[in-house]
Structure 1
């Protein structure tokens, strides 16, 4: 579930055969993150989305970051950031993310953090093994994905902003791209005040893969090779076919398959929103899209593996912590409210009353289970429950603890990577769904915080006659860094650090240490760099090899090389910000 309301689009897959063009910088290894390769084969992920608006709404338990059960999950996805009109990463709620006061908020001094991010910084120091990603997009805020991905220059603008963001907030472990959906051209919903639509076209198929390739490439060339890159992928095979999972999956650490919102009151027949298996009695159509047999968790998870050769352990199945519902259910059709004719949706406690979807939190569904008139049923084929009130003509489809356990068994027995939950703030008091999934997946052991490790791959590169840039790899449980420059310590810095105002031909030494709430690492080894002694800079030329740090002039301006490459026509410094930075 993404924000307030969701309408499914049944779109026929576009058959395209487009080769991915060669990208600057050569090949990127299909081994995306060496830290993940060393995981035990049976280690499972439990990814929970945390919506930044939960703090405002009692239906979301007025949840803030300090309420997340950090000891019961492996990954927290912060929802949502967006791609702004300048094609840069941006918060959808700067007050909640950066300014609101929470128990562990800092002050207003430079380097201190407030809002959700202040809490994240604190809890990452306590739970360094829990990965923290920022999810970009969602159902309502994907309006600029298509344009951003449409050219290498626009992609580079976005990617550069992501790299800067990850270096500014080193406790963030990566990003999750939630583009709903590449290849689908969807106008904004006039009944949803939050929805901005999501333009799309067949060119997204190639551009989506290029985006993933270039993000991974930028990670590797920016000292961020340990950062994570994941996506939220559709639960409908027809939308999957509008992309190239067999190509883009090599650049991803894992794929969160949204095996929910499959059915809802955007249709006039009641059904399960997240069936684990197909029900042979399902009245859904089989053409032009086979919803009856193929719109279920089992089919789509195996579809990624069998058709696109995505490794099973890269795929996480979705679990909805909320309901969908119908009203005006015709009791003369279907069976006990299932597969019955209906129209419209009841207003759930998560809904905008002007545009309802029958969306209740799991806590609200437990209350309804104990409300007179409601009867709970379970589908022996699909392994999920539904709730029906024949006198009110209301039917709800949802996840409960039994179906959540069955979903975990399915993941375990088929070798998939884990479970994603939308969203953690919708669980009931006592966290019954969270506890069920955490227990089934073997998560929940107490983590004792430790001092951070020594920063690795510290490098100093002179940029011209008056500046040295110092970079290092992020330390997973560090919240800040100190740098020693020629014997003097500067606190609370991040990579890259720019040492400016230097004399031409001068040599400077540097070392770095990591900081968190537990303590301080040892210093790294010293590195040094000497500023250039001459201001002579050659003009940019095609078919020329340029190393990182090389200065060139182009159209009267001076640029520094960011990634080693051999130049070619079309890669002029002013056209490719991923390769060159204006001085």
Structure 2
């Protein structure tokens, strides 16, 4: 898949009225007033046009959410990666776990080691715990299963449970984004990598039911704080093919793909992502194909809360070839075709960082539409036209979001920015939506924020959390969270409140704590406190023993050898077979060795481990796996004999081993089974 997924880029970049591209992530506990959601294209590592983008290239300090695009749905109705190598197996990324065979003798890696893109996500989530990571499911080429699943309560449940299972396994993932493109629409595959889409009128109601079941499944599994978002079309007809007024209650926010309003699938040039509509556009089918009209449909017709609506910004272009200059000499709203190919594929697709060079290239002239508030490029010599987003139009888009109190912007995609430089576009987003747009003041009737501190943010598993709630905070109760699960709660009065919670014996890992203050008027979310528990050796624990076996694959007879080194500090040992103790005893300060003989074991797999024990605890040895294979067929002759005629399949014993005849022969002196392996296959 890692080879074929790279060819999907053209498909994944279609129109928001026609194509996918975006998913959404929101955070119930985040502090910024606005959201900046950037998409990471997993196939970008194979694409020179996307600078072989990696997770490290994401502007982690400039975003609130990262959406991983894309996961698909398999034939068992469960989510799965579209590229297992890139997502989970590639060991070549900068922060991949390093093997430590002394510490982890069986595999070299701890049990929670993660490689690929998700190993990088795990690392960056430890550095930026407030950035939310979501999995975008579907997209333009992988929406083929939604219609079938949404129509069935049983299949909806299977899908939702698979999402829960994934987030339990990878607990640094903060939620799921549903990118069904699009409900009610049936579309044939465009190429061998595209699965098309199946749709019907029943999708309108079933889309809502799908989101309802996923949300309720998250809640029922203790995942109320996990995010559920959607990426939806900005085209009016596709908006009305769903029920935004009903499904909005189940999602944290709605990512409206306000781009791909025009492209080479149209016969006239236009704006990729106009903020406002220009009445001079000759293609009247695009009358409401602009950001302002799309957002107004959600707000005015479906009463969706504004802070749940995110617009979109494209870090790529669309274009046409064979475009005449037209009456204004700029190629805008003129006839064109799809012959113009950019560095990302057909239809004039360029990454934003390449467009910066084109702006200065000979033959190109830059224009700006004062009505739509977006730029475009025209080359009168080559008859080529490009529509895109630049720094000025992005700031206009941010101003629109802020002045209309919308929830933020989604970005397609992270690879388009100059990530080997200043990350210009993400910096503009951050400054405009967050840095220079602080949270509104807390209403007087809501409780004041509490203060949570830790005595040692990096420790070996024991630390103290101190809660401080100010006098006259208006709070009547509080909840203390660890990794989004409540671990302590209580009531408070108007006096100042302080409490210390002692945490002990915490396993190695990263833990995020926060305290929320509550009253009848709402909840004030506290700041996150991140604690890192590191592993330190306990010199008083016994040394580990070592297990070995004389024959790891056998027919049921084998010997396991236990070795415990001298001065191990162990006083006792226990030998486990499949987690059941089969041998135990005492140990002296001298080196200790013991053989455990197994006979007539049934066919199957057996795992052994050795615990060395003293009063300070126990240390586990390497894990030893033994496979008992099917016992050999009893021989037809007790021994191999010279002069005997053998046929294929005959079994003989020779020199303590069993052999099967593979070529019919008459045994000759010197042609022993050991000497002539071409005639005899040793099977034991």
Change (3 A) 1:202 1:335: farther
Higher gyration radius (CA): 2
Partner of 2:430: 438
Write out aligned runs for 1:51-200 (5 A).
51-100=41-90, 101-106=92-97, 107=99, 108-190=109-191, 193-200=192-199
Which TM-score applies when normalising by structure 1?
Answer: 0.70
Distance 2:137 2:16 in 1: 21
Residue 10 of structure 2 is matched in structure 1 by 4
TM-superposed CA distance for 1:516, in Å, is: 7.7
Deviations along 1:352-380, one digit per CA (max 9) or x if unpaired, are xxxx1211001111111111000000000
Paired residue total: 439
Instruction: Write the distance in 1 (CA, Å) between the matches of 2:126 and 2:510.
Output: 17
Determine the C-alpha separation between the residues in 2 that align with 1:61 and 1:183. Answer: 36
SS class of match (2:190): coil
1:492 positional shift? 7.6
Query: What is the aligned partner in structure 2 of residue 339 from structure 1?
Result: 333
Q: What secondary structure, in the 3-state scheme, does the structure 1 residue paired with 2:10 have?
A: coil
* Whole-angstrom distance in 2 between the partners of 1:345 and 1:275: 23
| Equivalent residue, structure 1, for 2:386 | 396
The whole-number CA distance in structure 2 between the counterparts of 1:228 and 1:136 is 13
Partner of 1:35: helix, strand, or coil? coil
Q: Secondary structure at the match of 1:420?
A: strand
Matched residue, 1:374? 364
Aligned to 1:296: 290
- Per-residue deviation, 1:142: 1.1
1:178-327 mapped onto 2 (5 Å cutoff): 178-190=179-191, 193-286=192-285, 291-292=286-287, 294-327=288-321
Q: Give 1:451 deviation, angstroms.
A: 6.4
User: 1:28 matched to which residue of 2?
Assistant: none
What is the CA distance between 1:53 and its match in structure 2? 1.1
TM-score (norm. length: structure 2): 0.60
1:330 Cα deviation (Å)? 2.2
Cα distance in structure 1, aligned partners of 2:234 and 2:9 = 18
- Tell me, yes or no, if structure 1 residue 519 matches structure 2 residue 513: no
Post-superposition offset of 1:257:
0.5
Offset, 1:433 = 1.3
Note the residue ranges of structure 1 that are not aligned, 5 or more in a row.
Answer: 12-31, 455-471, 478-486, 495-514, 522-583
SS of residue in 2 equivalent to 1:80: strand
Q: Is 2:508–2:533's contact at 8 Å kept on the other side of the alignment?
A: no
SS in 1 for 2:533: coil
Which whole-Å deviations, capped at 9, do the CAs of 1:77-127 have from their partners, x for residues lacking one? 011111112110000111111011211112555320111111111111111
Q: Separation in 1 of the partners of 2:180 and 2:317?
A: 22
Give 1:426-465 correspondences, 5 Å limit: 426-428=416-418, 429-443=421-435
Residue pair 1:46, 1:419 contacting (<8 A) in 2 also: yes
Residues 442 and 208 of structure 1: is their aligned pair in 2 closer, same or farther, counting only changes over 3 Å? same
RMSD: 3.1
Q: 1:335 to 1:244 in 2, by over 3 A?
A: farther
SS across alignment from 1:59: helix
Whether the aligned pair in 2 keeps the contact of 1:170 and 1:474 (CA below 8 Å) is no
Indicate conservation of the 8 Å contact 2:417/2:425, yes or no.
yes
Compute the displacement of 1:430 (Å). Answer: 2.4
Range 157-166 or range 421-430, more displaced:
421-430
- Matches of 2:130 and 2:157, distance apart in 1: 30
